[in-house]
Structure 1
């Protein structure tokens, strides 16, 4: 059993997937099962090499939906995941449990989403437990425990994890935002004066500068990245997609897709990166960007739209048409008004 604290900037850059890859290489095994935890919550995620022959992914995910494990400890959850993997019926159980929950909450649209987080779940870094030698029908089974989601919610974020990630990310993100804005300025300077998108690129550059000057947290700094991307897209021969809806730090989206959160009726057309698109196709929650709002840590898009330009627009994904741009909304004061309204109601987004 090994406990490894993960933090941004360490040998694995705080990414358990990188650690998992290193473990596999060091162990020298071609057949391997790893059960990992997402840093936001308590559920398990399974990965199997060379193929998912034992339905490891669905077996590990199904554990979080089982009612009998609502209050179970980590050992019991791992044990149940092992049982499902060994039985080879993880996909069947996963589909049955997610369908049950989806049906329950779709029938109760008035039910308020319960998002909770406990600082006792995690220290400043994510603790990852690796246990080897499980009795499985594969060679060299390894369990790598990562936290995921409490029941009855699509996303949740323990405060301690969020605070550690925010502190580690903000300084670097501010430098990145400044560099992206500078690069956009250079691209505008060298652009053909007759380019059809030059005016929009200039507007995006100006808006990015205003947001960067006023930025006081990760959401605004990510907004600078989104504005810079909007400006680059305006200069391109064929306008591209915005940044990934779920976490713009994932980079430029590769496709648009329809998304409906588990247990809800409303749908949205959003732009997603490849990883988030794959997660949605597998009916799993993508990795999302969290913010602070009224003392709670929530996905940025769950902040009321009037309190956040970024929630209202999905960092570009939810804009209504070619003339509706992030830069235009910053220019009309929507960014500033949302910040003032958020302050008036008990704390700015990102504080």
Structure 2
């Protein structure tokens, strides 16, 4: 009699099925990742997206706080928090294409972090510096620090979709696209859009000038106090035409600086103010040398660390935090401090995120510095700093003027897409950068011009 084959017991079959389910769930990539289209749709409505599978990294409250900060700053900063196993190939380029908005995109992927931006919003070198500055931090700290620093230095404006309110049934994307197409097709719609952009640009310039005015007024006041301390009288004993000429040029510079500032309407107008102050301080240095019987000083730029220190007397080696060494013009006091291994006295200014050196305080300070350091020397002094990175782009000239005179200007709205504008897929992937590895540029790979850091 043949043996009847044993049939597997029900518990054994259930165990096998359960094992299969567990293996399937735990296998990386087995579960479909959230599509780029879904993430892009969320980012068009809100600047911060947290994938459900990554919710443990950033709480809903913390995400909402970041989103409110970004919206309040009116900047096109997009943040996505994704799980560690999310596919990384071309993720930045694909997300930028799907979102269709010119801006700065940052992704926290597991415990890895990277960012990419259209150069009209933030230069690649500035993005690189910002990303490097927050590596190794926890998700909340990293994203908060990155947001703080990025909003200080990036350009552009928030997309209109963030501020739109939806009805109970919502407004379909298709309807919005059709409406936009009709408006663009009509001359009246296009004219309205240009006027709105120019009005927003003018408001941003006024805000930048208001912040800059505080610093310039401090400079003018300091120069006026120098004139008072000089205690020079054109009729005093020993006064001659040369000394009187120095004194008159200093007084003229003081008057010009006050008038130029009173007439300033945009940040680039400030350059004329600081040029006048630099001329005036050199005249005072000449007058002091004549009165003391010393050789006349050579014409040198002011002290790099604080132009209020007066004309520099030498060049000294200095390395900014996280930057490369360079020679900068310094006053005698700062030269001594550096030689003794001490920190120089640096000009700090108020920002939304506390007191910072002027070269780390935003693009509006470019024309201010350019008036002091003319003649093309400023790029070398600021290389590797955030202000230097921002000033090295044509978009900077359009927003804040020529700065140090080496870039051509440009009319606002004369072409291209500004940060926050809808460009769809009309952007240069090489300009924007790549993605997280797998040929996308993460870990210093190609396409993203990232240069390492992980």
Fold shared, TM-score > 0.5 on shorter chain: no
Normalised to the residue count of structure 1, the TM-score between the two structures is 0.33
Judging by fraction of residues, say which structure has more strand.
Answer: 1
Larger Rg over CA atoms: 2
